[in-house]
Amino acid sequence: MGLWVIQPYLLVCYLFFYCKWVEGYIKLSKEEDLELEEQLKRLNKPAVKTIKTKYGELYDCVDFYKQPAFDHPLLKNHNFHPEMRSTSIPKRVSPENEVPKHDYKPVNIGLEGGGCPIGTVPIRRTTKDDLIRAKFHSEMYAPKLNPLIKEQPGTRFALARTKLNIDYDGVGAEISVWNLPVNASQYTAGRIKISNGAESLEAGWMVNPDLYGDGRTHMYIFTNAGQSPCFNAQCGYVHLRPDIPVDGIVDPVSSYGGNTFVITLAIYQDVVKKDWFLKMTKDHTDIGFWPSKIFTNLGNTATQTEWGGEVFSPVGVPAPGMGSGHELEEDTTKDAIFANANIVVNNTIMDPPRDLKLFVDSFKYDVKNEGNVGDDINYLIIYGGVGGGTGS
């Protein structure tokens, strides 16, 4: 009987709090307000230059050595520099001329005007509203930190994952990007993931009003290392590129039955130094990296890789769509796809094994492992669904 009493109460609290928030009625205590001001001072570093995007976002060009990564207690003494690149580049099983040449269109993520000056990196400016949204959502968003258990309700998945039987040096794919409607305290995402035990790294696209303050599609990374999991550039990820932010708006996006726009992402390990690099585009441009010293398990190797979709909604609130927002039709112009899905083993890029484990925890979503279909798509995984479920 207690469960039936508590769940409606939580839902009423969520709706009431949310309505007050969007109308701007939340009142912070003097202590809370001062705490937020101190956080803003720590998060927003001195800028050499500020870039305002056409969407109104502000990116501060921060000196490489003053970026948020170096606030991490394990990175206080380091010898990193802006020209750092991975020392070991994964090789392909097949010749380079066999890399897919399909007509999927790349998205635009880079900053206008060439981005930040050399020696600086773009860091999205944090506002007080950002911190208030994060404060409100912190408990509700806890499933992100430890998903797939009953004690963390609200998150739904449709995943294809490798088995826990070998060591992996990387994961990658060409990921179709979409924009689906979500409400406050919800998100929908498509991502690759690599993990070892409780530690994991993700990269992909996401629509998340609580995180970004808008309903647009953004690139994102998620770092789960030790006691400091976080999104984007706030807890140990070292950014390298002056012209590409790690959390930029992805534009344009795919249309159902129309053009397919993709972002090519990979997370590969430098097998010499053991750092994990975020790579983008088919030529594997290094965007940034996670130093091995911030990890315990991933500081050595990874034991599992994933491709798939993820959504979140508070308990009792209808969940958003996933992928393209439609049921799977096995049509790459209509389904959300991971084309050229790949893994890295022994510093060699190869197809995932055909016996990937498929995981779906709601009948509203689905994932299928199509295998190597040729046709310049190579290894294909599709996923998605209409949403609407209100499970616990």
* Per-residue pLDDT reduced to its tens digit, 84-132: 999 888 888 754 444 445 567 778 788 988 899 999 999 999 998 888 8
What pLDDT digit, counting tens, does each position of 15-32 carry? 323 333 333 445 678 888
Give the H/E segment covering residue 219.
strand 218-224
Residue 391: pLDDT band with limits 50, 70, 90: low
Residue 174: pLDDT band with limits 50, 70, 90: very high
222 has pLDDT over 50: yes
Lowest-pLDDT range, 113-127, 216-230, 286-300, 361-375? 216-230
- Give the pLDDT confidence score for residue 107 in this predicted structure: 80
Residue 239: pLDDT band with limits 50, 70, 90: very high
- Give the pLDDT confidence score for residue 102 in this predicted structure: 58
Q: Measuring CA to CA, how many Å separate 314 from each of 2, 330, 345?
A: 19, 30, 38
What average pLDDT does the chain have? 85
Unique residue bearing structure tokens 């190797």: 301
Of 261, 264, 260, 269, nearest in space to 280 by CA:
264
Of 366, 370, 265, nearest in space to 324 by CA:
366
- Specify the DSSP class assigned to residue 128: H
- In 3-state terms, what secondary structure has residue 218? strand
Overall average pLDDT of the 75-87 stretch: 92
- Give the pLDDT confidence score for residue 234 in this predicted structure: 84
Overall average pLDDT of the 182-204 stretch: 95
Overall average pLDDT of the 291-303 stretch: 95
Paired strand residues for 59: 51, 124
